Structure 1
């Protein structure tokens, strides 16, 4: 499983995910730090990556489309990078399970990962 980490999350998250045995890349490492949401979306699709973001727009975009990347929407509020990364790593088994179940948007709220299937409106 590959994680594409969005710009508002620290590059050190990539290192932490790699240390936990996951493939990960930060948008800054592939010259997408100032890219549009569509460019980041397209990159996640082309890499078959889980898009890790704090940006609500990606979860809304995913809900409006019949296909696209899995979105890991980080909703833990303001916290320091060390605590944020620790929360993500603690939730990694739940996140992985949600991806494997085919959930399209996974919300990391506080300390808990909550997945959901995409619903057509």
Structure 2
């Protein structure tokens, strides 16, 4: 999970049965997008992000992990998780189908 999203989102994903880790604990607080990308690729993880850069990389067919690009403005952690909860089953289905980029809009 990208550093732009709250660590509580990784906790929520773990509560949903996923092996989620936040970028801060995964690659460090000052890690570059490239470091996050490479670490996710190496460990076959999915990047959940608000960062457009990851979506651009996937769209350019750059070899790497699946990306869930959250297109939601500023939100409290609670409202972000509530918003994502309504969409998560669909996101999981698309991931299972092998989609490399899943754009989730508000």
| TM-score when normalising by structure 2 | 0.93
1:23 partnered with 2:19: yes
CA RMSD of aligned residues (A): 1.2
Matched residue, 1:77: 73
Structure 1 range deviating more: 72-81 or 25-34: 25-34
| TM-score when normalising by structure 1 | 0.82
* Higher RCO (C-alpha under 8 Å, 6+ residues apart): 2
Where do 5+ consecutive residues of structure 1 fail to align? 111-121
Deviation >2 Å, runs of 4+: 30-33
The size of the alignment, in residue pairs, is 106
SS, match of residue 28 in structure 1:
helix
SS, match of residue 48 in structure 1:
coil
2-side partners of 1:107 and 1:78: how far apart?
17
Which protein has the bigger strand share? Answer: 1
1:34 partnered with 2:34: no
2-side partners of 1:74 and 1:66: how far apart?
19
Shift, 1:67, TM fit: 2.3
